[in-house]
Amino acid sequence: MSAMKRIYVILLLLFAAFNLSFAQTTKVTGVITDDNGDPLIGAVVQCVENKKSVIADLDGKYSIDVPSSEKYTLRFTYLGMAQQDIKMSGKQDKLDVQMRSDNTLEGAVIVGAYGTIQRREDLVGSAFQVNSDALKNKPATRVDDVLDGMVPGLTIEANTDSAGSTRTRYETRVRGTGSLSGSSEPLWVIDGVPQYMGSSTGTMPGMSYTVSPMSYINIEDIESITVLKDADQVSIYGANGANGVILVTTKSGSSNTPLRVNASARFGVATIDRSTMFKVMNAAQYMEVAKEAWVNAGNTIENFPYQDNEYNSYSTTDTYWPDVYLGLGDEFNASLSVSYGTKKMSGRVSGSYYRKDNIVKTDNQQRFTLSTKNDFEPVKNLHFVVNLNASYNDNDIFPISSSSYLETQPIFSPYLEDGESMRLYNNIWDSSAKKFAMKSFYYNYVPDREYNDNHQRTVVTDATFNLSYRLFDCLKLSSTFGVKYNSGHEDTYYARTTLRGMDSGVPVGAATRRDVSYLSWSNNNIIEFNKKFGEHRVMVLGGLEFNSQHNKYTYVSGSGFMNDKIKEIEYAEHVSTYSNSNVKNSKDMSYFARAEYSYGGRYYISGNVRRNGNSIFGKYNKWGTFWSVGASWNIHKEKFWNVECMDVFKIKASYGSSGNSKIDATTATGTYSYSDSFSYMGVAGGVIGTVPNPGLSWETTYQANIGISMEFLKRLEIEVEAYNYMTHDLLSKVYVSRTISEDRQYANVGQVRNRGIELTVAYDVIRNKDWNWNISLNAAHNQNRIVKLYNGVPTSFGSTIWMEGYSANTHMLIRWAGVDPLDGSPLWYDKDGNLTKTYNYDNRVPGKSSDPILTGGMNTRLSWKGVSLSMMLKYSIGGWANPTYGLRMMNDGYDIVNSNAAVEVYYYRWKQPGDLASFPKVSNASQHSISYNDRLLLDRTFFNLSNITLSYSFPDSILSKAKMKGLGVSFICDNVFLFTRHMSKTFNSYKTMKSGYPVTRTYTLAFNVSF
Amino acid sequence: MRRHIIIFSSFVAALLSMSACNFLNVEQIGKSDIEGYYSEPSAARAAVYGTHNILYGLVDKYVILYPEIAADCVVLESNEATWDLYQNFAVTSDDEIGAMGYIWKNSYQTINNANQIIEHVPGLKEEFPRDAADLDSYMAQALFLRAYAHLCLCLTFGQNYSYTANASHLGCVVVTKPLSLSECPSRNTVAQVYDQIVKDLQAAIKYFPEDYQFNKFLPSPEACEALLARVYLYMGKWSEARSCADNVISKISLTQRDNYVVMFNAMKAPEKDEMIYSLNGIQQSSTAHKIYWKNEPKARPSVKVLNLFEEDDIRLEVLSSSGDDVVLKFEQEDGQADPYANIPILRVSEMYLIRAEAALMLGDINGAVADVKALQERARGHEVSFDEVTTAEDADVLIEEERIRELCFEGHRLWDISRRHKNIVREADHTSTVKELSYPDYRFVLPIPSVELEANGNMVNNPTSNE
């Protein structure tokens, strides 16, 4: 902190010096131009302090008298241009001003590929930027989730709809799923450095529970997030760009600004949205159904397993298991940042603490971050930017095994009669032995929650150095070097007092320790030429990039502990300890270039080329070349344009290729497995793991994009884009001759097409001094089709299928034909459409797909003076889900004696001949009516009112008295309400099956103060 | 200006020099990639063991069972559905998860693993000349494994050697080096497959160092010669078969009567017996054992087999347990910790039978009878005379029956029937629906798996009817 203090002192001294030097009236002169450099005749210049104003002449020149004894502000205004207030001190007597158009399209800038700043008006490609003000007041848990519903064509979904990990993995898709076997995740680039986000399925290799690196970032440090979508923007990222690129730019200080301190704090309460909780039977309902299923399976009621005894009083127990595991959570986030800037340096330092207690009891996340970004200019035109970040993350995880919190029967209690001792066994009637027997109660996770550990600590440090030198006005050299080290440690311990810590009833305790490190470094070197020759502007950029990823994993486990106090493997029984370690490397290297040419702010063309090499691929296909071309036309700037109400009319198009290299790093070279599982005569042996696959190459996506941007009356902005993406050389596992390998092998076969249309509308309904109301809406439609598969052969994976002419997300299910009213047995249609009572897996037929027709979001903000109210709605229309909970719990009595089922089973089941029931007769002997049939396909349409925020910012008049720059308070409600079809208080619908855990609704109070 | 040019050109020069380096050659540390794995001589030894692990699964689950179940010595329990298809000759190309799919798949897995060893040993020898003798023995073992797996394939998927005059009918694909993924190899003729097998075994014998320590659970020079004897017999090369069998018999002697039964019990077997090559079952779970398991057998000896024995034949003792007719050739001590069963592949008894058959074919009836007599006397514990056997026909019947008595359930029977061009005839009360299959018939071999046919355009299926 001492360095900062010094800077502050220096700044104070400087101000003092200015105050002493001047005490007369002086003149300020200069030229006012528009963004093309043309003089702005008639622009008004006003000195705010003495209210004097002048008008610029024919050459855009002005001259104004100003008070010289103090600091003052000059205000420049011109119709159609954004007002500019420039703070002056008496010393300055010349000031040239370039004004910018105030229409939103022209005004906004976008951070494009390799940090090139482009005005939205100049954009040839497709890029959508979310700025920090839109990220404000959004949930701070993880950075990807906040983008949901904000970016057209970007969808974020949990990878599973069943309860499992409390750190859900998300699938982020930009314009559909372009790969079948490789990853379809976009590339994340933070401050110019590509990020390692885990394996091709998003898991963190080496860890047993994945905590996403997305949760390690303090969202308040982010200045902007740009999603690059088309070939013009992503081709330059070559082999990693096919799934889109997401650029994150962190906040920085700006030069010549005084020290500014910003502090914020948020307190939140997380509650369960009970309307989204899956509804199961209570004890009485369960007992009725279970007994019926027991008898229907041909058993006698005397042998029913759950008969009251001294250890279990089944008839009087009614446990609502969700309440045993779920409760109130809370959230706390505090951050402090300081930014400053002098002539030769500027910077920002921030620190934050975040804590979240999940609605799953004892599950929590903590994050400490520290981040600094400094920009030094030791010599004129030489910039040295240093970016240092550290994040420490502590995750205490309590995963509830898949849906056990719903399936555990209500007739069991987590505790013994005394209400506190853990129940490890239940006394159950054994019908074959004709006596009660103590059975292990594995589904009671309460002892595990209380005594077991599942703890992850992760330290992420990264450092980015950027050196840039502007050689001439038009030529810039720049080098960036980034290193990121992510070190994780995971401890799990099964206590001797829990069933999982016992071996055949004998307490042993079991511990695992995992250590992983992911080291990545990246270097890019760029030469940029940018010059304007009259109406012509030329930009050429060339570069060289290296990336390297080095992962190491260590694992040890052991059991046989003396007590639960010492959990380290050193004290485990030595015969039971096991350890291993592994390492994985990959590297890539690229040359790339981008060129842009524009004429008169009207015509733009651009091109990209990247030659990309990757060590993952075999020696014949290490290198791939990707390219793109694009053009745009600002028609509204043409002389012939005379549509008055339309301020902007722009069309654009691009076409090009990009690649996807996210497959396992050892595929090309082949592997050998050496372990005990291949032993002979008791000695470990080695066998071929995977055969070498040197011919393997990139998936290449050819992307075509066209777009139209329009703005009416400076209020309504409409942007429409359409695209057609074709992925060639699809990586897919195919059978090769068994004489070569017994396993299926990756091969470049097949084609997938994603085509769609995206619409963005922004409308300023009210825009005046006190009142402001704007609405923005985005909608995207994507159609996914498998165009070609290896030899045209469909591949089926249980309930889904890949088939030519169908979406990659097509359900493959047996058609349900209802319940036979005579005997309650399930009916299906066979392959040929004939009614059948026989369940047969081979009767599955391809049918509906899970692809939604339309996805998107709507944001609106209404403000009056300092008060503002904003809302966000996410939606998805169409598509069919085959929810896990439907599959498992809306059953025909299958295994009902061992697990609870949906409330529908109680109400809708067939009971007697003549019943027109929708659920078949319950029987503990399964009739398979629950698996692989389309009975429970549900419309995925939902509307999620995801956020309402009410904010108040205190006015300047109060702030200046308190010597503050800003003070705000907000009340935020996240996940307000979820709408789906067939919502019901009593029954389940897609609403209760959309996610494994019920929705967490959070109420947050946020404060923000700056000096 | 000059300074700027210097800065610019040095930046460009630095970039160019960076791009010249060999950045993309990543060494996959951690022994996971194949080249990294074969960086030490011990890798070849582990690979021999690993290949045996695969082979155990292949032989124990399928190779030892299929030729018996498809022939006339095994009766299946009615609930044994997986093998039912095979007994009734109803296998189609779809039975990917049965014997057909796995014999094809796992045999090539064995061959491919052996080929990796054969491919990498020369390089290792150059780098580690001190370990040359050890490396040579791994090379020899890999060659043996490759030969044996080719034989399994050729017998299962190709008709017997004398099906056509010059064995020009289709056998299996001969694979002698790691193939690249895009290749679609086609089937070789049976003659070509046998040639390669003979070549591999002869090469293997040469590779074994002089002081090689015999181990019945690993390929040895004796095992190579024994397998050669069998292969020559199948090929009808009588004098070669006779001399190979002769060589083996001179080196390893028959197990004596007292130890005959325990020889088939992995955990009780003496360290030295007549096993020339047998697969060790430690840490493997045996399917053959389970199928013939005395407490709950899914397959039993047929009446036809049991009727061939005299009362005092010791070999009846491995075909019965507490009065029940069961097979005890894959026995393990069930009560003990980690029980396991070994799978016999080559025994000295078979060498006697090969020598006998070869002698007969070469016109030496007395020699032939003498070898059968040796086995009979060992089995019955007293002198036996075969005075009634005087003609070649009688001797041939004697040898065929003795082969059943001695080698039943060890995976020989179907091959013995087909190479003799005989019909499969089951007793009338056999549980199978098909009681007889006359030679020749397309069903003496299995069809090629459909996955192979789909993935490999050059693959030709076996006929699916008698044209």
pLDDT per residue over A327-368, tens digit each? 999 999 999 999 988 888 899 999 999 999 999 999 999 999
Query: A with B: how many residue pairs have Cβ under 8 Å apart?
Result: 191
Distance between B375 CA and the closest CA of chain A, angstroms: 30
| A666 closest CB neighbour out of B11, B18, B33 | B33
Average pLDDT over residues A137-166: 84
User: Which residue of A584, A678, A737 is in closest CB contact with B50?
Assistant: A678
Collapsing DSSP to helix, strand or coil, A132 comes out as helix
Task: Supply the DSSP symbol for A192.
Answer: T
- Residue A37, Cβ density class (10 Å: 0-12 exposed, 13-18 middle, ≥19 buried): exposed
Separation of first and last alpha carbons in chain B: 90
Q: Contact B185/A737, CB-based, under 8 Å? A: yes
Nearest to B171 by CA among B186, B148, B188, B196: B188
Q: What pLDDT does residue A608 have?
A: 92
Report pLDDT digits (tens) over A689-726.
888 877 777 788 899 999 999 999 888 999 999 999 99
CB contact under 8 A, B459 and A737: yes
The answer to whether the CB of A357 falls within 8 A of the CB of A270 is yes
Residues of A in contact with B452 (CB under 8 A): 737-739
Q: How is residue A983 annotated by DSSP?
A: -
Q: What confidence category does residue B29 fall into, taking pLDDT thresholds of 50, 70 and 90? A: very low
Return d(Cα A437, Cα A425) in angstroms, integer: 9
CA distance B356 to chain A (A): 34
Tokens describing residue A465: 């150095």
Q: What's the mean pLDDT in A746-771?
A: 89
**% of chain A surpassing 90 pLDDT:** 43
User: Is pLDDT above 80 for A71?
Assistant: no
Task: Please write the tens of the pLDDT for every residue from A776-795.
Answer: 999 999 999 999 887 777 77
pLDDT at A665: 53
Q: What is the pLDDT at residue A196?
A: 85
Q: Sorting pLDDT into bands at 50, 70 and 90, what band is A13?
A: very low
Q: Are A521 and A215 a contacting pair, CB within 8 Å? A: no
Give the model's pLDDT for residue B22: 67
* Residue-wise DSSP of A836-893: ESS--GGGEEEEEE---SEEEEEEEEEEETTEEEEEEEEEEE--EE--HHHHHHS-SS
Q: Lowest-confidence range among A195-209, A307-321, A346-360, B170-184?
A: A195-209
Q: What distance in Å separates residue B383's CA from the closest CA in chain A?
A: 39
Which class for A27: exposed (0-12), middle (13-18), buried (19 or more C-beta within 10 A)?
Answer: exposed
| A615, A739, A747: residue with CB nearest B175 | A739
Place of tokens 């009142």: A771
Q: Which two tokens stand for residue B456?
A: 């490999």
Nearest by Cα to A541 from A118, A224, A254: A118
The shortest C-alpha distance from B286 to chain A (Å) reads 13
Q: What are phi and psi of A480, to 5 degrees?
A: -125, 135
Tokens representing B321 are 């347990």
Considering only CB atoms, which chain A residues are within 8 Å of B116?
672, 688
Cβ-Cβ contacts under 8 Å, B4 against chain A: 471-472
Tokens of A564: 């639960």
Can you say whether residue A844 is alpha, beta or left, with left for phi > 0 and alpha for psi between -120 and 50 degrees? beta
Contact A806, A849 (CB under 8 A): yes
Distance separating alpha carbons of residues B59 and B81, to the nearest angstrom: 20
Please spell the DSSP secondary structure of A701-740, one letter per residue: EEEEEEEEEEEETTTEEEEEEEEEEEEES-EEEE---TTT
Per-residue pLDDT, A980 = 94
Task: Taking residues A245-258, report their average pLDDT.
Answer: 86
Cβ of B19 within 8 Å of Cβ of A544? The answer is yes
Nearest chain A residue to B451 by CA distance is: A735
Contact A611, A625 (CB under 8 A): yes
Nearest CA in chain B to A475: B8
CB A514 within 8 A of CB A493: no
Contacts of A740 in chain B (CB under 8 A): 108, 112, 179-181, 183, 185
Among chain A residues, the shortest Cα distance to B19 is held by: A544
The rounded distance, in Å, linking the Cα atoms of A126 and A232 is 7
Å between B146 CA and nearest CA of chain A: 13
Q: Which amino acid is at A839?
A: Y
Min Cα separation A539/chain B (Å): 17
Which range among A193-197, A948-952, B234-238, B310-314 shows the weakest confidence by mean pLDDT? A193-197
Nearest to A697 by CA among A735, A667, A656: A667
Does pLDDT of A69 surpass 80? no
pLDDT exceeds cutoff 50 at A4:
no
Pairing of strands A53-55, A61-67: unpaired
DSSP three-state, residue A913: coil
> What's the pLDDT band for A959 if we cut at 50, 70, 90?
confident
* Cross-chain Cβ contact A585/B28 below 8 Å: yes
Report the SS3 class of residue A80: coil
To which H or E segment does residue B111 belong? helix B99-127
Which chain B residue's Cα is nearest to A687?
B50
Count of CB atoms within 10 A of residue A334's CB? 15
Pairwise CB contact (< 8 Å): B7 & A477: yes
Residues of A in contact with B34 (CB under 8 A): 669-672, 688, 692
Structure tokens at A135: 């990220």
Distance in angstroms (rounded) separating the CA atoms of residues B138 and A52: 98
- List of chain A residues whose C-beta atoms are within 8 Å of the C-beta of residue B180: 692, 694-695, 740
- Residue in B31, B106, B283 nearest the CB of A679: B283
Q: Is the pLDDT of residue A935 over 60?
A: yes
Q: Measured between beta carbons, which residues in chain A are less than 8 angstroms from residue B113?
A: 687-688
pLDDT of residue B271 exceeding 80, the answer is yes
* A667 → chain B, closest CA residue: B33
**Coil, helix or strand for A477?**
strand
Buried b (16+ CB within 10 A) or exposed e, A946-972: bbbbebebeeeeebeeeeeeebbebeb
Contact between A703 and A713 under an 8 Å Cβ cutoff? The reply is no
- Contact A676/B282, CB-based, under 8 Å? no
Environment class of B74 (CB within 10 Å of its CB; exposed 0-12, middle 13-18, buried 19+):
buried
In chain B, which residues have their Cβ closer than 8 Å to the Cβ of A583? Answer: 29-30
All residues of chain A having their beta carbon less than 8 Å from the beta carbon of residue B54 are: 678, 687
Contacts of A543 by beta carbon, 8 Å cutoff, 6+ apart: A114, A524, A525, A526, A527, A591, A592, A593
